[in-house]
Amino acid sequence: MQKSKKWLDISPHDWFFRSITEAGTIYLDQGKEETLLSPKTYNKFKTGKTRNVFNFTTSEGQTSFSIKGYKPDSREKVTVYIDGVPTKPSKLASGKVHIGYPIAGGKDVSIVLSGVVDMHEGTHESNSCQSYPLSKSCSEKYPTKKLEMQKKYVFDVRYSLNELAVCLNRKLRRISVRPRANESVQKALQRTIGLKDDCFTIIDGYLYTSHNLNGFPVFVNYNYKAGAVIKNRQREKVVPKTDCPKYSDMFFPEITISKGEFFYTLQRMRINLYNRYSDRGYQPKITAKTERYIKDRPKIVGKWYEEEVLNIMDEKFNDGCYVFPLYDDKTFQPETCMTKAETAVYLNRFIEWALERFR
C-alpha cells in the first residue's frame, strides 16, 4: 500500500533517503501523476519467497501473529498495518511476527511480506553490468473479486457517487473504465489505471483495483437491483487478488543502470525545468523528427527510453553546440553501463545548460 514516492525498500536510515524521497515528489505534469523518478516493475520472486499479504482481526491484548511456514529473511521487508496505520514489527521469528505492545480487540491487521525479488545480476566481467528486477512471462492482470450481488449489480450515473471503496482506512480513487470495441477488460484497465496506486473500478459486478492493493481487504459500497428498487450495498468486505500483478513500489537502490536509463531520468528533469520556467512549457518532438545524427540510433529506436533519449540528445547550448557529447565514433551506446566519470561529465553539462537556459 505504498505510493511510488514512498519506496517500499528505502528507509529513513538510508544515506540516500532524503534525496530520493524529495526527488520523488517532483512532478512532471499538472495532474501530479508522473514523478521524476519512475518505478521499475517486477513480479518474479525467489522460490519460496513470493510477496504475500496476511489479514487478521485481533483479539484483546494480542501481541503476535502466526504465519505458517514463515522464516525471517534479511532481504525481505515486513510491514504491519493496524487499522491502516503502518508499523514495524518488534521481532521476527519462525512462524510469528511480533508487535511490541498489546493491541485492542477487533482491529483489522494486514501483514505484508515483500518477498525477495528475483534479479538479473550483471557483471563487469561479462560486459553486461546492468542489474534489474525480473518479471514473469504472464499476461498482466489487475486484482479482482466478484461482488456478492454481482448478478444484480447496477451502475447509473445518478448513483455513481454511491460507489465507494476503502482499503486500510483510505478512500480509494474511483476510475471510470469503459472498454472500447474489441478491447478486453484487462487492456482497458492498463489504458486507464496503468501503474496508478490506490484506484478501483467496478465492471459488471466485479471489483478491480490497482496492482499495489493485491491481497488487501477492501470494503465496498455499490448499487444493486432488488426487484424494481435500487439499493446500496454497504461495506462488503472483499479481498481482490491476481496471479499476475505488476508491482512498482521498490526503488532498487543498489542496482546498476544503463546509459539509456540514465538519460531517461535526465530528460525527465529537463521536462520539469521547461514546464516550470518557460512560458510554453515542454514541447516534445516525435522521434522521427529529432535531428541529431547518432550512428547507433537503431539501438535506441524501439526501446522504452527511445523518445526521452532522442529528444534530450537534440538539446543545444546557446552557441549551437550539443549539450551531451557522443563517443568519438558518433555512437551513443545506450546499453552500456555508466562510469563514474561519465556521470560527473553529463551532470555538469546538464547544470551548465540549465543555468544558461533558465537563469
pLDDT for 10-38, tens place per residue? 888 888 988 888 888 888 877 787 888 88
For 193-199, which contacts have Cβ atoms below 8 Å and span 24 or more sequence positions?
193/142, 195/4, 195/39, 195/41, 195/246, 195/248, 196/33, 197/2, 197/3, 197/4, 197/249, 198/1, 198/3, 198/167, 198/170, 198/172, 198/173, 199/172, 199/173, 199/174, 199/175
Task: Name the residue with cell 511456514.
Answer: 69
pLDDT, residue 124, reads 59
pLDDT value at 5 more than 60: no
Mean pLDDT computed over 215-235: 94
pTM: 0.85
Closest CA to 96 of 123, 119, 62: 62
pLDDT higher than 60, residue 2: no
**Which pLDDT score is estimated for 38?**
82
pLDDT at 120 over 80: yes
Whether pLDDT at 55 is above 80: yes
Mean pLDDT of 211-234: 94
Predicted confidence (pLDDT) at residue 160 exceeds the cutoff of 70: no
| The predicted structure's pLDDT at residue 107 | 95
pLDDT of residue 341: 87
Q: Per-residue confidence at 6, pLDDT binned at 50, 70, 90? A: low
Cα separation, 300 vs 298, whole angstroms: 5
The mean pLDDT value for 63-87 works out to 95
* Residue linked to cell 513470493: 50
Read off the pLDDT band of 234 (50, 70, 90).
Answer: very high
Check pLDDT > 80 for residue 127: no
- Please give the helix or strand (H or E) that residue 231 lies within, else none: strand 229-238
Domain boundaries, the chain: 46-116, 144-238, 259-358
On the 0-12 / 13-18 / 19+ scale of CB atoms within 10 A, 103 is buried
Mean pLDDT (the chain, rounded): 92
pLDDT-based confidence at residue 254 (cuts at 50, 70, 90): confident
Q: In whole angstroms, what is the distance from residue 313 CA to residue 325 CA?
A: 9
Q: How confident is the model at residue 3 (pLDDT cuts 50, 70, 90)?
A: very low
User: C-alpha grid cell for residue 177?
Assistant: 473504465
Task: Give the residue from 254, 252, 144 showing the smallest Cα distance to 205.
Answer: 144
- pLDDT the model gives residue 125: 56
20 closest CA partner among 215, 178, 251, 182: 251
CA atoms 260, 266, 268, 274: torsion sign: negative
